[in-house]
Structure 1
């Protein structure tokens, strides 16, 4: 028996705002605003990427910035949130935490406060429309000054909550090789005082030492990626002891050149070490696959049985900032999926 992975209740904890765009939507937005897209976002999509060197990262970032430049008004921003919720709902995700840096969209809507309020308002609307509840992660960028991160942490704290349409966590994204992790510690302390989860990126393009830096300075509840911790058994054991959830994004790992094949992502190794794992799609716009494909890869490329796939779903739910009642409901749904004697 092969159970339907789309029917498996799950949470989605690693999805970037612009990166969540449907490719068709991006093309429509470009037409709407009279902007030209490169071939890599037209006939050559999904693009061939490799970000393990500076030139490769520059190409990835240039494509991302090109897409972000097509998001130019409130309607565009609302459409992104709504379609992300719709796509998650179709794939069995009942809780989505979408990650946004409002700085990028502030010039078009009157500032960072209106930008985050648009996202939050549409998160509440999309929750009601799709049945997938949507929380928001505010993320600072490693390539900007740490004082900017503090500003965003204070802004995020003003909208902190534990349900859809609220800010549930604070993150740190962009090129791991940029900036000094320790300099962002103050921003994460501000966010923590407001009750926000700490969800920085670490351990994809850089190895175990960068994961350790995040542990030392940012007190993470989850790590965006964290997959390179598999290279250091002692570090991995520390993550397990501390209950840090790893947001593993296999399509990202392969597209950016961290691993050559999906089968090389150390998913089974992390599971066998006892790590809590939440699969994520990261940037479907550039990587060409959404959340369900990550679960399909776990089954196909790693030979995970349904019991292990159910544990991945549980890890996403337990690691989420979903309301307690929803987590209880979703965990019960995973048990029911696993107990089914025929494919749902």
Structure 2
């Protein structure tokens, strides 16, 4: 078995605060005297479940606490640089990091100023690490749809200058998805990738809603499309990519264990799947870990794992020359003699 850390790949589902290193969280909290709950200290990674609304509230509370430690511009730059370093260590060649500026604007001079800061940090981190990077601006479905329109216009303002997509995050059981169609129409007209969350905490019917009303190009998660063969055929025919995050699916109670994550069903149907880490800070597993767990759970061959990496690259908004270069690297990985065991 070849080393999965050496497998070149793209990372399309990584949340901003959720990308933070655990040690960084502890250091920033100690610096400013912020008291962290035991679940983020002695009981880390936390035991989580989103099977009900109370479970999601606990998860969101931990995320909000983690976000509160980001107090300075240097904190933001550190987070982005470390996320890039971690992806490079895991074989990452391209990263699209997702951020909701409205969650940080109050502390950093507004959503435009914060977006400028993040994009500057991304440019610096990319230059330092060699990792190709871009930003997906995401709205929060628990806020008013007019807020989402504001963020869509912000994303359009930076299209071609580091922002490549527009998303919709938070608990997909909250709000009415169709109400966000106007925001996605704004992003669609600008040619941004449309990447709402769907098909994790809700089933196939919500995936259909995301396709019909938001015109999704990729689905954040989308894993429960496996429950409806006709829907899965539609997804395959439309070329919609699924950003599957196995470890977070299990941690949040969507599936009981990693062997239950229906990756083989998705692949057998011909779906495009890009494995992602979602929120390593809360789930304790980064990009290469997603490949390793699926290899172990489903006895995937190196050929299949290489194809998963190729799909992540093809589903990305990386420039054509970057895509071509990474695909050549993947071919070289799978063509090389095996013998290095993956951790």
Normalising by structure 1, what TM-score?
0.97
- Distance (whole Å) between structure 2 residues aligned to residue 150 and residue 56 of structure 1: 29
Secondary structure class of the residue paired with 1:13? strand
2:242 aligns with 246
Using the TM superposition, give the Cα deviation of residue 109 of structure 1 relative to its aligned residue in structure 2, in angstroms. Answer: 1.4
Partner of 1:31: 30
**What is the 5 A alignment of 1:1-344?**
2-161=1-160, 166-343=162-339
Tell me how far apart the structure 1 counterparts of residues 65 and 123 of structure 2 sit (CA, whole Å): 28
Once the 2 structures are TM-superposed, how far is the Cα of residue 72 of structure 1 from its aligned partner? 1.7
Provide the aligned length of Structure 1 versus Structure 2: 340
- Aligned-partner Cα distance in 1 for 2:130–2:75: 21
Secondary structure at the residue paired with 1:168?
strand
Q: Tell whether the 8 Å contact from 1:72 to 1:105 is kept in structure 2 after alignment.
A: no
Query: How far 1:335 sits from its partner (Å)?
Result: 0.8
Secondary structure of the structure 2 residue equivalent to 1:257:
coil
Structure 1 Cα separation of the partners of residues 267 and 122 of structure 2:
32
Q: Measure, in 2, the Cα distance between the counterparts of 1:35 and 1:50.
A: 25
Report the CA distance between 1:342 and its aligned residue.
Answer: 3.6
- Give the Å deviation of 1:65: 0.8
- Once residues 152 and 73 of structure 1 are traced to their aligned partners in structure 2, the CA distance between those partners, rounded to angstroms, is 22
**Cα separation, 2, equivalents of 1:115 and 1:174:** 20
Question: Bigger CA drift: 189-198 or 334-343?
Answer: 334-343
What is the Cα-based RMSD across aligned positions, in Å? Answer: 0.9
C-alpha distance in 2 between matches for 1:318 and 1:34: 44
SS at structure 1 position matched to 2:97: strand
Aligned equivalents of 2:125 and 2:30: distance in 1? 25
Partners in 2 of 1:72 and 1:113 — Cα distance?
17
For 1:253 and 1:269, locate their aligned partners in 2 and report how far apart those are by CA, in whole Å. Answer: 16
Distance in 2, Cα, partners of 1:225 & 1:239: 13
1:44 shift after superposition: 0.5
Q: Is the 8 A contact 1:201 1:224 kept in 2?
A: yes
User: Is the partner of 2:106 in helix, strand or coil?
Assistant: helix
Helix, strand or coil at the partner of 1:52: coil
Cα distance between partner residues in 1 of 2:217 and 2:72:
33
Per mean C-alpha deviation after superposition, the further-off stretch among 277-286 and 31-40 is 31-40
Q: Match of 2:290, SS?
A: helix
Normalising by the residue count of structure 2, what TM-score does the alignment of the two structures yield?
0.98
- Using the TM superposition, give the Cα deviation of residue 343 of structure 1 relative to its aligned residue in structure 2, in angstroms: 4.4
Q: What displacement does 1:32 show?
A: 1.9
- SS of 1:278 mapped into structure 2: strand
2: distance between equivalents of 1:343 and 1:31?
A: 43
